[in-house]
């Protein structure tokens, strides 16, 4: 029970950070192209986490060594999750719109539950399915179904690929948790993703006209926040949470992203919150509670 609560806290924090990062990303992306920003995020996050990993590994009696099998496992996580999934989400959102991006990438928990059944042998229960339906319904209510403006089938394919590959990332992280700490997994998976993103970053810089009209303090602070908080901290929290909770249940916390994003849009950007935010948000919360809280355990504790 304690692990479930801690895992829920870690995953809630990670999803909330990602939901809120779009407010800052919106400003930074006005001056820095997307894959260049992604490279900067990964470079800052990797440097920060590697420093922590190196310090903690040196303090142990036996230094940690990366075997060839470990390198393959972590390179796969970096490739399928931090390179392919995030990259296809960037491209898909550009070809369609942010609204469609939020809608289609929120399908990721559905694929996580299916992949967790196939690869991790996690049970597919009515409780999980009911929680998934409740949370999915909540997302549809919050972001709407027919309000998007993009009409690109190719963009929607990219966004669907982002949802599927993020599900593969979640299952792979759960598998890696049996062999490595969340710090090791996050650090080196980001390192591999940084290497893979480098050619795209150089291509983008050579083919994009950069704008230098930004406030240096705001731009630098935004990039640091995206690297340290939205990447290093959030990815570590997500991987730590997945170590403590089944992948199928943990994936439901992904639904907090659009809710937090809408709330911060209201708080910081003056965007309007309508009835669908509160109604849909309650559906998401009920779905997560149904998946993570066992009423019988709470009732038993109350009797004791």
Per-residue pLDDT reduced to its tens digit, 232-288:
999 999 999 999 888 888 888 877 777 777 777 777 767 677 777 778 778 777 877
- Hey, what are 31's tokens? 């001056």
Whose CA is closest to 238, among 302, 183, 303? 183
| Total-model pTM | 0.82
Residues above pLDDT 90, as percent of the chain: 30
Return d(Cα 81, Cα 209) in angstroms, integer: 29
CB 290 within 8 A of CB 130: yes
Q: For residue 296, is pLDDT > 60?
A: no
Query: Residue 214 — very low, low, confident or very high, per pLDDT cuts 50/70/90?
Result: confident
Q: Does the pLDDT at position 302 exceed 50?
A: no
SS3 readout for 73-131: HHHHHHHHHHHHHHHHHHHHHHHCCHHHHHHHHCCHHHHHHHHHHHHCCCCCCHHHHHH
Q: Count CB atoms within 10 A of the CB of residue 233.
A: 18
Residue 61 pLDDT class (50, 70, 90 cuts): low
d(CA 253, CA 111): 14
Q: Which of 25, 40, 31, 43 is nearest to 216 (CA)?
A: 31
Query: In the structure, what pLDDT confidence band is assigned to residue 104 with cuts at 50, 70 and 90?
Result: low
Q: Within 10 Å of residue 125's Cβ, how many Cβ atoms?
A: 13
Cβ atoms < 10 Å from Cβ of 61 = 4
Longest alpha-carbon distance in the chain = 67
For the ranges 77-81, 94-98, 109-113, 114-118, the lowest mean pLDDT is seen at 94-98
Element (H, E) at 169: helix 153-176
């Amino acid at each position: 029970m304690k692990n479930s609560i801690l895992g829920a806290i870690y995953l809630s924090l990670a999803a909330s950070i990602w939901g809120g990062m779009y407010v800052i990303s919106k400003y930074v992306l006005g001056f820095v192209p997307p894959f260049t920003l992604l490279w900067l995020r990964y470079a800052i996050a990797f440097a920060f986490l590697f420093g922590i990993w190196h310090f903690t590994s040196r303090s142990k009696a036996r230094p940690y060594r990366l075997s060839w099998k470990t390198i393959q496992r972590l390179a796969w996580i970096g490739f399928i999750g931090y390179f392919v999934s995030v990259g296809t989400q960037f491209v898909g959102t550009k070809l369609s719109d942010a609204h469609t991006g939020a809608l289609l990438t929120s399908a990721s928990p559905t694929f996580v539950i299916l992949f967790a059944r196939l690869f991790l042998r996690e049970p597919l229960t009515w409780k999980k399915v009911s929680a998934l339906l409740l949370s999915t319904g909540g997302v549809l209510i919050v972001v709407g179904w027919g309000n998007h403006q993009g009409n690109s089938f190719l963009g929607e394919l990219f966004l669907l690929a982002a949802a599927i590959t993020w599900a593969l990332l979640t299952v792979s992280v759960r598998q890696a948790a049996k062999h490595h700490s969340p710090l090791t997994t996050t650090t080196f998976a980001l390192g591999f993703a940084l290497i893979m993103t480098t050619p795209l970053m150089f291509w983008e810089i050579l083919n994009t006209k950069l704008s230098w009209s930004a406030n240096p303090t705001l731009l630098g602070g935004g990039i640091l926040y995206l690297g340290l908080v939205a990447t290093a901290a959030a990815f570590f929290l997500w991987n730590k949470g997945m170590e403590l909770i089944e992948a199928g249940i943990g994936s439901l916390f992904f639904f907090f992203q659009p809710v937090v994003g809408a709330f911060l849009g209201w708080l910081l950007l003056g965007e309007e919150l309508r009835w669908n935010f509160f109604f849909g948000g309650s559906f998401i919360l009920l779905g997560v509670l149904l998946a993570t809280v066992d009423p019988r355990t709470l009732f038993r504790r109350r009797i004791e």
